[in-house]
């Protein structure tokens, strides 16, 4: 509920195309996407599933091939299968547990596109956005938007976001985050996006061992 209110406030206060992106995201019930993340220390490839009001499933392709984690907003817990669902062990963890936190401290309960938009909006509170321009990502049309915080300002360690948004869905196609020195923290590419697809309940609640 609080996340929904935050997105509503963001949509009302921000200019297009970010406001359009937030407004569209508020209507989305579910999505699945393949994420390719590149950081200075390596790469990550995973399949990501999201269903309102905050169910998340992540299937790791590399590294940690076969590992699966699911987060339930009902229990506020993460279930992790390091070697695949149904295989020992199955771990029950807090989203804040270091085993399931991202390199930058990101938590699975705040890993969806809506959380990204909230971070971008928070930087804009005292920062600025460059005029969007039309470009492309991997031959896909895109709207490029660069948002920077005030001098020295960071949100979750990020001072600047460079986003490429799909002109139709306003979902990200690629996101580059940078620190206050301008160094790239990570580059995330979104592939094979499907919005409002049926996602079974069991996808987010596999049988217990």
Average pLDDT over residues 91-117: 92
**173 domain-assigned:** yes
The count of domains in the chain is 1
C-alpha to C-alpha distance for 209 and 204, rounded to whole angstroms = 15
**114 domain-assigned:** yes
pLDDT given for residue 1 in this prediction = 47
**195 domain-assigned:** yes
DSSP 93: E
CA distances (Å), 143 to each of 114, 159, 193, in order?
Answer: 18, 20, 17
Query: Can you give the CATH number for the domain in which 62 is found?
Result: 2.50.20.10
**166 domain-assigned:** yes
**140 domain-assigned:** yes
**209 domain-assigned:** no
Q: How much is the pTM? A: 0.90
Q: Which residue has the higher pLDDT, 203 or 3?
A: 203
**pLDDT, tens digit (0-9, with 9 covering 90-100), for 15-36:** 578 888 999 999 999 999 999 9
Mean pLDDT rounded to a whole number for the chain: 91
pLDDT given for residue 2 in this prediction = 41
**Residue 102: CB atoms within 10 Å:** 15
Q: The domain containing residue 108 runs over which residues?
A: 2-204
């Amino acid at each position: 509920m609080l996340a929904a209110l935050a997105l509503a406030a963001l949509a009302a206060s921000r200019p297009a195309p970010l406001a359009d992106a937030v407004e569209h995201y508020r209507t989305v019930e579910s999505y699945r996407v393949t994420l390719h993340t590149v950081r200075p220390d390596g790469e990550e490839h995973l399949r990501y599933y999201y269903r309102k009001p905050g169910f998340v499933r992540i299937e790791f392709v590399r590294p940690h091939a076969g590992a699966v984690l699911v987060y339930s907003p009902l229990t506020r817990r993460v279930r992790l299968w390091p070697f695949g669902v149904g295989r020992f062990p199955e771990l029950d963890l807090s989203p804040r547990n270091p085993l399931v936190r991202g390199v930058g401290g990101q938590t699975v309960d705040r890993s969806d596109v809506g959380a990204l938009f909230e971070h971008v909006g928070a930087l804009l509170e005292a920062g600025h956005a460059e005029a969007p321009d039309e470009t492309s990502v991997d031959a896909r049309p895109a709207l490029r938007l660069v948002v920077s915080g005030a001098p020295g300002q960071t949100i979750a360690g990020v001072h600047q976001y460079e986003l490429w948004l799909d002109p139709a869905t306003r979902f990200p196609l690629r996101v580059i985050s940078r620190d206050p020195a301008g160094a790239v923290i990570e580059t995330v590419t979104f592939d094979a996006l499907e919005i409002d697809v049926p996602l079974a309940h069991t996808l987010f609640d596999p049988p217990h061992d």
